[in-house]
Amino acid sequence: MPIQLPATHHPEALPARLLTSQWALLNTGPDEGPVLDLACGSGQNGLWLAQQGYTVDFVDRSDEALAHIRTVLARDGHPCLCQTSECVEPRRAGTAGTHRLLKVDLESGLRPMLPGAHYAAILVFRYLHRPLIPAILAALKPGGILMYETFTREQARFGRPRNPDLLLEPEEVLTWLPGVAPLFYREGIEDTGGQPRAIAQLVIRRPAD
Instruction: Name the residue ranges covered by the structural domains of the chain.
Output: 11-205
Higher model confidence: residue 209 or residue 74? 74
Residue 63's contacts (CB-CB under 8 Å, 6 or more residues apart) are 103
Short-list 56, 46, 33, CA closest to 143: 33
CB atoms within 10 A of CB 195: 9
pLDDT tens digits along 79-99 = 999 999 888 989 887 788 899
Identify residue 189 by its one-letter amino acid code: I
Q: Which residues pair with 121 in a beta bridge?
A: 35, 145
Are 203 and 166 within 8 A, CB to CB?
Answer: no
| Mean pLDDT computed over 2-15 | 49
Q: What is the pLDDT of residues 101-140, one digit of tens each?
A: 999 999 987 667 899 999 999 999 999 999 999 999 999 9
What is the residue-averaged pLDDT of the chain?
Answer: 90
Pairing mode of beta strands 99-103, 56-60: parallel
pTM reported for the whole predicted model: 0.91
The fold for domain 11-205 equals Rossmann fold (3.40.50)
* Contact between residue 73 and residue 80 where contact means Cβ atoms under 8 Å apart: yes
